[in-house]
Each structure stands twice: as C-alpha cells, then as structure tokens.
Amino acid sequence: MSTPRPPPPNLAPRRRTSALKMMFWLLLVPISLVIGYFAVVLHWNYSTGERAGWVQKLSSKGWLCKTWEGEMAMVSMPGAIPEKFLFTVRDEAVAESINKVMGKRVTLHYEEKVGLPTSCFGETRHFVTSVLQLEEIPLVPGVVVPNRPAASSGAPAAPPSSAQPAPPSPLPSTTPPPPAPVTSPAKN
C-alpha cells in the first residue's frame, strides 16, 4: 500500500545562518565603513603649512569633547590690518608650549583636515601640531629688526665691543656709487 514518507528536512538551522548573515550585512559592514572613514580622515591631511604672527587667544572649549581653540593675528606689513587665523590644538603639550609664548611672535605648523563631521574633533579645519618662537621680525624683504630682550636692570645696554667688527647694515647705502671713468672713442 503506501510507503511511509521520510520526514521533511529541518529548515531551522538554515534560517539561523541566514539571520546571522543579514545582521552582518546590516550592522557590521556599515559600522566598519564608518570606522574606516574616520581613520582615513584623521590621518590624511588636505594641506600642511606654517603661519606666523602673534597668538592672541587660546582657550579650552567644548561640552563633552574638550579641545584647545585659538586665534592668531597675522600682519603682513607694519600698519596693515591684521588677519585672524583660527586654529585648533588637540595635543596638551602643544597647547602648553603655545601658552608659554603667548604675546610673542611665533610660527605655527598646522595640518588642515577636511571631512570631519562633528565639532568634537575641533571647531576649525586647522590643527596645530607644533610652535616655534621667532627671534627676528621681518619688516620688508631684506630688512630685519632683531627682537632683543630689554636690559633687566634699567641701565642701557652696553655698546658692542671694538674688538668685534660691527655687523653689516641691512639697509641699502644712500650714497651713490662713484661714477665710471669716461673714455673717449678712438678717432680714425
């Protein structure tokens, strides 16, 4: 008469692996893509450079993520209106060294990062990585004014000794050069 049929195969394990694959594709892949994006954006620089001027302001800001936000005045020529350079410092040691040279002429080395989606990394695109205090103030190309500290006792600084020759003046001489000798052409 009729032969017994075998029981249908169990489909439960197949559904479980299917659910795990679905979870993998819907959760883990987007999360890994976001982490990869942040890793690339934080380590890649759009540009790097240096700017010179006087640091006016440096303060620690932020509700959750504290970063150092600063402002530097850059003057291209004496008497010109200063341009402000806004920057972010993420390293505490760099922020401390900027605080030590506040009000002095400095050069800030920065890295510009593009694509950071939140202000948790900083309020600006320019991240300062190092600071260098400048010793001389260039006025115009070729003319430099040394930035020497004032005498501490109030007495005038000693003039340079006569044993050492005076350094050459950076300003051009105002006396005209001697005229070249004039020779008359030979007559035929």
Rounded distance, CA 123 to CA 58, Å?
A: 13
111-164: per-residue pLDDT in tens? 998 877 767 778 888 999 999 998 766 566 666 665 555 444 444 444 444 445
Task: Say if 109 falls within a structural domain.
Answer: yes
For range 44-56, the mean pLDDT? 89
Higher confidence at residue 27 or residue 94?
Answer: 94
pLDDT for residue 72: 93
Beta strands in 15-154 (DSSP E): 47-61, 67-74, 83-89, 105-112, 126-133, 136-140, 143-146
- List, in sequence order, every residue forming a beta bridge with 133; answer none if it has no partner: 106
Task: Say if 183 falls within a structural domain.
Answer: no
The C-alpha angle 139, 141, 144, rounded to 5 degrees, equals 45
pLDDT for residue 100: 92
Task: Say if 91 falls within a structural domain.
Answer: yes
pLDDT for residue 12: 52
60-104: per-residue pLDDT in tens? 988 888 889 999 998 777 778 889 999 999 899 999 999 999 888
Into how many domains does the chain fold?
1
pLDDT for residue 151: 43
pLDDT for residue 34: 86
CATH number at residue 90: 2.40.50.140
Task: Say if 106 falls within a structural domain.
Answer: yes
Angstrom distances, CA of residue 59 to CA of 34, 36, 98, 125? 30, 31, 11, 17
Task: Say if 56 falls within a structural domain.
Answer: yes
Task: Say if 166 falls within a structural domain.
Answer: no
Tell which residue, 62, 68, 53, 63, has the closest CA to residue 127: 68
Task: Say if 68 falls within a structural domain.
Answer: yes
Whether the full predicted model's pTM is greater than 0.85, yes or no, is: no
Q: How many Å is the maximal CA-CA distance in the chain?
A: 145
Range of the domain at 107: 47-140
